[in-house]
Amino acid sequence: MFRLFVALPLPDDVRAHLASLCSGLPGARWVAPEAMHVTLRFIGEVGGAEAEDVHEVLGRIQAPAFRLTLSGLGCFESGRKVHTLWVGVEREPHLLHLQEKIESAVVRTGLEPERRKFKAHVTLARFRNGDSPRIGSFIERNNRLALSPFVADRFTLYRSFLGRQGPHYEALADYPLETTPAAAEP
């Protein structure tokens, strides 16, 4: 069985900047810089034949490269407890279009549609029982975060391995996006 997801990898300098934020919250399980990404579709556990089908349909996706900007912090909560601290992704129509194409392709392989609404973000930390006031203060102190835009020129199929030290991700395949002069402009 393969535990799969599709994501946009982040450039090294972006991950390094985000890693500099990763301290000062008791109980936070910080995401390692090499594991930071923007999830486009969580697939979950699939067999080898299903994984190959997913790889095949993802390889047929054609979409343009685009500029992406990370800014602001937020959290996901369940009840009154925070379970995830994240950095936001500014609205980008090409990102939404790519995510929709990936969702459609994955569903065509026979897998169930994603039930959750897509919320582009980069996870910084996870919590078992997040202390909302402390996390709220952390967000308030760091919420002016605005990184320089970067070009998203590919998306990646990852395999996830769960372990005591947190998840470990292995890139299985990269799928290039069509580079245009507009995407490469600063």
pLDDT, tens digit, 9 for 90 and up, residues 124-154: 999 987 777 889 999 999 989 999 999 999 9
| Structural domain for 48, as ranges | 2-184
Domain count, the chain: 1
CATH number, domain at 177?
A: 3.90.1140.10
CB 76 within 8 A of CB 117: no
* pLDDT band per the 50, 70, 90 thresholds, residue 182: low
Of the candidates 72, 88, 55, 43, the residue with the CA atom closest to the CA atom of residue 144: 72
Whether the predicted pLDDT of 184 surpasses 80: no
* CA–CA gap between residue 15 and residue 12 (Å, rounded): 5
The 3-state secondary structure of 138-173, one letter per residue? HHHHHCCCECCCEEECEEEEEEEECCCCCCEEEEEE
Could you give the percent of the chain with pLDDT greater than 70?
96
* Exposed/middle/buried for residue 91 (C-beta within 10 Å: 0-12, 13-18, 19+): exposed
